Amino acid sequence: MSRKSRNTLQEQRIKYAELLRERIYSTITLLAVMVVMWQHPGSHSALGVIGAIIGTVGALWLATLIASRMSYRIVHDNKELESHYRKASAAASGLLAPAAAPIFFAVVSMTGLIDLKTALLLSVVVLVLSLFLFSLVSGRKIANSRLSLFFYSMMQLALGLAVVALKLFVK
């Protein structure tokens, strides 16, 4: 394998790792929000849930972009900023992905096919499972060992379950 090929492969692995990291952050944050709304479904409308979801991932996305830009400017020369900012923006897109399923379920609840509490519960279940599945699928591109990949994916699943348990049992 040529040096250029190794560098390209390494760049791809870094990109996948950054997307995975951002996806995990967003999923855990959104999971905590969804559990709280699921505990009190009467306090929310479907549109309010959608607004909370968009607001949560949108705030995470913006905070990541702003923090990345600020921290990079502190350390590096401004000439290099745009290249770094494009990379940071691409990685931050992983923060938005976890919102898709909860928004879908909230929209379905607006049709009357399921009630809002069921939509919120389905959202929680999908978010917890997505921690495992997304880690497993995207991790295949960056992991050296299938056993360690499975172990880390199980740790992500356990972390999601811990977030749910924490929100349910600590009031």
Residues 142 and 13: beta-carbon distance below 8 Å: yes
Report the b/e string of 155-165 with b at 16+ CB within 10 A: ebbebbeebbe
Q: Average the pLDDT over 29-38 and give the result.
A: 94
Amino acid identity at 53: I
Looking at residue 134, what is its pLDDT?
84
pLDDT at residue 112 greater than cutoff 80 = yes
* Residue, of 60 and 146, whose pLDDT is higher: 60
Q: Average the pLDDT over 116-143 and give the result.
A: 88
User: In this structure, what DSSP letter does residue 44 have?
Assistant: -
Looking at residue 27, what is its pLDDT?
92
pLDDT at residue 77 greater than cutoff 80 = no
User: What is the distance, to the nearest Å, from the Cα of residue 57 to the centroid of all Cα atoms in its chain?
Assistant: 8
* Residue, of 73 and 95, whose pLDDT is higher: 95
Looking at residue 127, what is its pLDDT?
96
The residues near 49 (Cβ < 8 Å, ≥ 6 apart) are 37, 102, 106, 116, 119, 120
Please provide residue 132's backbone torsions phi and psi, each rounded to the nearest 5 degrees. -70, -50
Looking at residue 122, what is its pLDDT?
97
% pLDDT > 70, the chain: 88
Res. 141 pLDDT band, cuts 50 70 90 = low
Which burial class, exposed, middle or buried, applies to 31 when counting CB atoms under 10 A from its CB (0-12, 13-18, 19+)?
buried
